[in-house]
Amino acid sequence: MGTVEEFACKDCGQVFEAEVGGGFLFFLFRCPSCGATHVMRKGRTDAEKGIDFKALICDPVEDPPLCPQCNIEMKTGIPPLCPQCRSGSLRYQKTVLSYD
Ligand SMILES: [Zn+2]
Ligand SMILES: [Zn+2]
């Protein structure tokens, strides 16, 4: 399950919402440079045809998306960044919503 959480930046005080985590059905990629996010569904074709657990647990790094702004590979499992100063030093405030 993915969530949207509210953070406050410890460096500049900016309060913002960021998507965190991935779900059973998707991966959440994040640009390590600008913090932009991209959601990719797992095992898109096979999983939708029927049950294919191999597709559901496939490794996403084979074909990582590129950040449209920075043109570098986005990664899974990296924490959100402050959209204002790019700091990773954040204080968790609250969960805004959860989704699958
Ligand atoms: Zn900041
Ligand atoms: Zn970027």
* pLDDT per residue as tens digits for the range 11-56: 999 999 988 877 667 788 999 998 888 888 765 454 455 544 444 4
Residues lining ligand 1 (ion), CB within 5 A? 9, 11-12, 14, 82, 84-85, 87
What whole-number distance in Å separates Cα of residue 71 and Cα of residue 28?
17
The domain limits of the chain are 2-82
What tens digit of pLDDT does each residue of 63-94 get? Answer: 788 999 999 999 888 888 898 998 989 999 99
The model scores a pTM over 0.75: no
Residue 26 has what pLDDT? 79
- Ligand 1 center to 34 CA (angstroms): 12
Neighbouring CB atoms inside 10 A of 93's CB total: 13
